[in-house]
Amino acid sequence: MRIPGPPPLDGLRNRIFRYRQEHPAGGKSEFVRETFCLSRPEAREKAREWFDEFPKAAYWTEVESWRQIDGDRIEFTMRRLPSAD
């Protein structure tokens, strides 16, 4: 007895292609992002402010990226959803 192969994905592929043509992302994101460049203590305080104002459970708040630059300065990007449901 022969085992059938996977179903063809042409229909799904075409639907995804059409959707992307009709709704181009254009670099847009659902998230609100802000980048800061602060001293280490100020950076910690700013991150705490974001987590206090926009709780992680409701806004998916997180430090998206960070790096140390010139001495004790931290450049970091905070990310959150625009509103909680």
- Give me the pLDDT at residue 24, please: 66
**Residue 76 clears pLDDT 70, i.e. is over it:** yes
- Give me the pLDDT at residue 55, please: 93
Instruction: Give the global pTM.
Output: 0.65
- Give me the pLDDT at residue 28, please: 67
Chain-centroid distance of CA 71 in Å reads 28
Report the DSSP beta bridge partners of residue 34: 78
- If we measure between CA atoms, which residue out of 75, 85, 83 comes closest to residue 34? 75
**Residue 85 clears pLDDT 60, i.e. is over it:** no
Contacts of residue 85, defined as CB under 8 A and 6 or more positions apart, other chains included, come to 58
- Give me the pLDDT at residue 5, please: 82
